[in-house]
Amino acid sequence: MQHPTILMQGITKIFATDEMETHALRGIDLQISSGDFVSICGPSGCGKSTLLSLLGLLDMPSGGSYQIEGKEVSGLSLSEAAFIRNEKIGFIFQSFNLIDELTVFDNIALPLRYRRQSVAKSEIEDRVMACLKTVDMTHRAGHRPNQLSGGQQQRIAIARALVGSPALLLVDEPTGNLDSRNGDAVMDMLCELNNNGTTLCMVTHDPRYADMASRKLHLLDGRILDSDGTPMQQHTTALRQVAAQ
């Protein structure tokens, strides 16, 4: 039996201080299968970033079960989580998060250089150049990130996220720092990656971009409103059929 890429059941997250407890996530059930494109929307403070950081093993849940490709990851130590994260998850953030002291090539190579089992130099070179080609940036391999435009930097960040062939790409407001032309280009690139099989989970405030996903989730007050697993396209088709009657 093939396991779903992501399976969360009853996930909760409580942030506690001496004065108060904040229930950021209140029982999240979420399944993401290979090839899915899921978008997550919701008002400020509803728990989107918290959910994304749990999905990316940047933080651990307070309760519930979280499996990546069938392996329970919710109780892992921080160092074990870091290894799984590096092998299974690619991140694309609003603020690119590239390292200005490294060339574009070395930025993209970074996840491979932190693998538990070392990756041969020639394989690193092949993979980095293939990813640069995917994002149409081979001509900038020797540049530094601060010598590139915002749109180009985000394309390098996408290449870095792809280089380890992750099971899941987590995308946080990928167009937040871009003008609409560059934003649209980045979204086109993400859609094309998904068409070629990459599994995506994206947080966005932009309803136009959220609609590009095959499944739209709405978070409110730490809960998912409509996560019956039905692709939104099916909802849309059904609604159109009803409207046409």
Chain residues that interact with ligand ATP, rule: CB under 6 A: 15, 22, 24, 42, 44-50
Q: What tokens appear for 23 in the block?
A: 């229930």
Alpha helices in 37-77 (DSSP H): 48-55
**Between residues 143 and 223, which has the closer beta carbon with respect to ligand ATP?**
223
Task: Please report how close the Cβ of residue 63 comes to ligand ATP at its closest, in angstroms.
Answer: 15
SS3 81: helix
Contact 212, 201 (CB under 8 A): no
**Between residues 52 and 157, which has the closer beta carbon with respect to ligand ATP?**
52
Task: Please report how close the Cβ of residue 12 comes to ligand ATP at its closest, in angstroms.
Answer: 12
SS3 65: strand
Residue with tokens 């609409």: 180
**Between residues 44 and 241, which has the closer beta carbon with respect to ligand ATP?**
44
Q: What tokens appear for 121 in the block?
A: 């130099």
**Between residues 46 and 162, which has the closer beta carbon with respect to ligand ATP?**
46
Task: Please report how close the Cβ of residue 66 comes to ligand ATP at its closest, in angstroms.
Answer: 16
First-to-last CA distance in the chain?
41
Task: Please report how close the Cβ of residue 242 comes to ligand ATP at its closest, in angstroms.
Answer: 32
Task: Please report how close the Cβ of residue 123 comes to ligand ATP at its closest, in angstroms.
Answer: 37
- Whether the CA torsion 59, 83, 97, 197 is positive or negative: it is negative
Q: Which of 210, 121, 113 is nearest to 164 (CA)?
A: 113
Task: Please report how close the Cβ of residue 81 comes to ligand ATP at its closest, in angstroms.
Answer: 17
Residue with tokens 């407890």: 21
The phi-psi region of residue 57 (left if phi > 0; otherwise alpha if psi is between -120 and 50; otherwise beta) is left
**Between residues 137 and 200, which has the closer beta carbon with respect to ligand ATP?**
200
Alpha carbons 33 and 151: distance in angstroms, whole number: 29
**Between residues 18 and 100, which has the closer beta carbon with respect to ligand ATP?**
18
